[in-house]
Structure 1
Amino acid sequence: MAPQNGDRTLERLTGGSPRAGQGFGTVSGHLFKEIRERTGTSQDRFSQALGIDKSTLQGWESGRRSLNAVRAGSLRTLKRNLLRLGGDPTLLLLLDQALDADSIINFVVDDPAIEKAADHPLASWVLTRDTTHMLAWALTGIAPASLPPADKPARRGPTPASPHLPAEVRTAFFGQMRRAAELAKGSGDDGALLRRQALYLCSYDTSTDTASWLAEIRRRPAQATPKGWSPDWADDRSVATSLTRHGDQDALAAFMANGLGDEIGEAANLNYWAYWLGIDALPKADDQFMVAAPAQSWDALALLRGLADRLKPGIAAIDLNIHSVWALLALRKGLLAAAPDLGRTLQARVVALLDADGISTQAREELISLHYGLKLTT
């Protein structure tokens, strides 16, 4: 069936030919497909309801045509129509992060020859968890933590569980991220954010030399995280958590011993968590936000709920998660008075972790402290 409205033709929607300088639409296309399939609607009916050609819909869902090529006003209209057709509101919110992930992938793969760190988009834009996990979805196949499970299976036949990024594109992406990190390393504070974020994204690379490369590029003569906050503090936090993904717990232990424990470090850690988990929703251009505001400028109860979801056995950086909950409750005494349900949830997760292996002596002591404190408030 032809489009119902002339201003919704492919030419008007994209402003040009398919993939004209837009590259891949892998992540947003896969999420778009998830949205449609969860409504239980076929491609034929969905394209008719949206007033677009079926071939356009198929191009978006396959990633051959990038949703980033759709004009801003038309994209807003498209999202409103998706909601009208029963699209999951949570997935519609995540569509923006999926578009961001596609734009990063395309920049990294298509524009590798940058000469200045400042020219890279990751040099002036602090990624949130949702955007980072959208990237990881394409790079590793691991679904984002914020992606709600489907209530029912896809309408027909087997479908991919994650965005399909060709192996050669993944290889190119990680190679260019390594080059960006090395370029940023020589750029001083101007490259600090790019260096940190490139290192973190490189940790998703399953190459056998990834862990050793990460450790080597962050090596400093002192071999220790500096006291107080600095760009090196932020770097060390990211690299330490990244290395736990490769089975290395030593860097995280060193970071926690040197980078936490004073007021500045604890505040920076909680401020970063608030931004990473979306509690602090204002965009950041650099890492200075970690120390630019007091660690009480966000909704502490919302942050505690977000951190509680990360108190589960088997999480790689569980020691940092435990400490962050302990530090937040120490900072905001009485926080659980208004949320007894959260207190009960925390108590159950603390007990489960006390019975689990794989946590440090310090983390176990903090869990015992949490256990007794929660008994008094729940």
Structure 2
Amino acid sequence: MPAQRPGGGPRARTAGQAAPREGVVAGRLLKITRERTGRTQQQLAEDLRMDTTSIQGWESGRRPLTATQTGRLRDVRRTLLRLGADPALLVLLEEALDADAVLAHALAGPPPADPRDHPLSGWVVTRDTTHMLAWALTGVLPTSVPAPPPGRHGRTAAAPLLGAGERRAVFDHMRAAAVLGHRAGEDGALLRRQALYLCSYDDAPDTAAWLAGMRRRLPSPRRDRWTPYWADQRSVAASLTRHGDTDAIHAFIADGLGGLGETANLNYWAYWLGVDTLPQADDSFMATRPTGSWDGLALLRRLTGRLAPHLGCIDLNVHSVWALVGSRRGLLSAADPELTGDLGRRVTRLLDSGAVSRQSRAELESLHYGLRLHRM
């Protein structure tokens, strides 16, 4: 049968054309999880009382885990846990399934006419899901997934990398989805923003120019009133740094932060870095969620790890740490010596590096002074 597109009709496949592997991310993660338990495909099949070809189909992506009955998938996860699987990998399996669902939708054809029918309109995608998508689009292993030992094909064989044609189809779909979301205005805000960010992983020569053109079409962020375009501008600016353009992130810091923008920025960091684990249906939580609802120390710890000179968004990261410390009285006093020591070393390294803007340098000096007072 022809491939069925969610929210639309079937898309014809030419004779001899292979069906897209729509379960590659969860399948690869399942393979890594199984191998780390020491079980073979045959042994796991025996544990699950099923045939080996089913395990082979799941791990290769030919039989997507997204099409597996919920009860069977629960059995797989619980059996792997009993066999000694890393619980963190089993949690990530849910993120991998979300990634596969998005990829399957993109590979099935153009976006649906109604932006609300697109999976990227349904929830604010987490960092882990985004990195799972990037795994299939770039081959870069997510930091949350341990690298498998090199086999006879080397470590590159471990990536669930889509074929070149499939990757092009996904990126073309995401560009079309971003335009669709833009035409829908605020009703298409979440689809637009998330599709734009995924487009930043595209290494096509025109990607940076295309992203910059989309950015120019967006209204400027406002400090006094929340609009979804604030999140658009933040994501597009961060996306452009991946292509070497840091002007956009500096413009966003100047125009989009301060007032309500500071609250939105910290709330989004808390969600993106996994400190605030509540799922969100749209971006409005950035402005409405009380910043005291998540652990400030946990966010400081994770943001501190992002104070590295080589990062394109380093000035946004510096500002975010400075704003977090300034908004939470006693945060440095409550931090353990290991955290404050790491923060101090990173602040000093950045001050010595010359890799930050004048504003960031002033903010780093303020942090350095605060850390000195904390040690007295």
Matched with 1:11 is none
1:174 equivalent in alignment to 2:171:
yes
Write the deviation string for residues 125-179 of structure 1: whole angstroms up to 9, x where unpaired. 11110111110111111122322456xx257764523112111111000001101
Matched with 2:330 is 334
1:276 equivalent in alignment to 2:310:
no
Identify if the C-alpha distance between structure 1 residues 189 and 80 changes in structure 2 by more than 3 Å, giving closer, same or farther: same
Q: Is the 8 A contact 1:22 1:66 kept in 2?
A: no
Identify if the C-alpha distance between structure 1 residues 268 and 221 changes in structure 2 by more than 3 Å, giving closer, same or farther: closer
1:139 equivalent in alignment to 2:167:
no
Matched with 1:297 is 293
Q: In structure 2, what is the Cα distance between the partners aligned to 1:356 and 1:95?
A: 39
Q: In structure 2, what is the Cα distance between the partners aligned to 1:289 and 1:274?
A: 11
Matched with 1:359 is 356
Q: In structure 2, what is the Cα distance between the partners aligned to 1:119 and 1:333?
A: 44
Q: In structure 1, what is the Cα distance between the partners aligned to 2:331 and 2:147?
A: 30
Matched with 2:365 is 368
Identify if the C-alpha distance between structure 1 residues 348 and 50 changes in structure 2 by more than 3 Å, giving closer, same or farther: farther
Unaligned stretches of 5+ residues in structure 1: 1-20
Structure-to-structure mapping, 1:87-126, within 5 angstroms:
87-126=85-124
Q: Is the 8 A contact 1:29 1:66 kept in 2?
A: yes
Letter aligned with residue 283 of structure 1: P
Q: Is the 8 A contact 2:182 2:192 kept in 1?
A: yes
Structure-to-structure mapping, 1:204-283, within 5 angstroms:
204-220=201-217, 224-228=220-224, 229-262=226-259, 264-283=260-279
Identify if the C-alpha distance between structure 1 residues 147 and 355 changes in structure 2 by more than 3 Å, giving closer, same or farther: farther
The TM-score with structure 2 as length reference comes to 0.89
Q: Is the 8 A contact 2:109 2:173 kept in 1?
A: no
Count of aligned residue pairs for this structure pair: 354
Letter aligned with residue 166 of structure 1: G
Q: In structure 1, what is the Cα distance between the partners aligned to 2:231 and 2:316?
A: 14
Q: In structure 2, what is the Cα distance between the partners aligned to 1:289 and 1:221?
A: 20
Matched with 2:195 is 198
Q: In structure 1, what is the Cα distance between the partners aligned to 2:308 and 2:143?
A: 13
The TM-score with structure 1 as length reference comes to 0.89
Unaligned stretches of 5+ residues in structure 2: 1-18
Q: In structure 1, what is the Cα distance between the partners aligned to 2:66 and 2:152?
A: 27
Q: In structure 2, what is the Cα distance between the partners aligned to 1:124 and 1:195?
A: 12
Give percent identity, aligned residues only.
Answer: 56
> What secondary structure sits across from 2:353 in the alignment?
coil
Write the deviation string for residues 257-315 of structure 1: whole angstroms up to 9, x where unpaired. 000022x0100000111111121111111111011122221111111112122112211
Q: In structure 1, what is the Cα distance between the partners aligned to 2:55 and 2:354?
A: 48
Using the TM superposition, give the Cα deviation of residue 374 of structure 1 relative to its aligned residue in structure 2, in angstroms: 1.3
Q: In structure 1, what is the Cα distance between the partners aligned to 2:147 and 2:370?
A: 34
Larger mean CA deviation between 347-356 and 181-190 belongs to 347-356
Write the deviation string for residues 225-270 of structure 1: whole angstroms up to 9, x where unpaired. 33333111111000000000000000000000000022x0100000
Letter aligned with residue 240 of structure 1: A
Q: Is the 8 A contact 1:41 1:155 kept in 2?
A: no
Q: Is the 8 A contact 2:218 2:233 kept in 1?
A: no
Q: In structure 1, what is the Cα distance between the partners aligned to 2:318 and 2:111?
A: 41
Q: Is the 8 A contact 1:40 1:154 kept in 2?
A: no
Larger mean CA deviation between 354-363 and 67-76 belongs to 354-363
Letter aligned with residue 298 of structure 1: W
Matched with 1:24 is 22
Matched with 1:12 is none
Matched with 2:35 is 37
Q: In structure 2, what is the Cα distance between the partners aligned to 1:113 and 1:317?
A: 30
Identify if the C-alpha distance between structure 1 residues 155 and 142 changes in structure 2 by more than 3 Å, giving closer, same or farther: closer
Q: In structure 1, what is the Cα distance between the partners aligned to 2:284 and 2:111?
A: 28
| Aligned alpha-carbon RMSD (Å) | 1.9
> What secondary structure sits across from 1:246 in the alignment?
coil
Identify if the C-alpha distance between structure 1 residues 72 and 157 changes in structure 2 by more than 3 Å, giving closer, same or farther: same
Matched with 2:302 is 306
Q: In structure 2, what is the Cα distance between the partners aligned to 1:132 and 1:357?
A: 31
Structure-to-structure mapping, 1:310-325, within 5 angstroms:
310-325=306-321
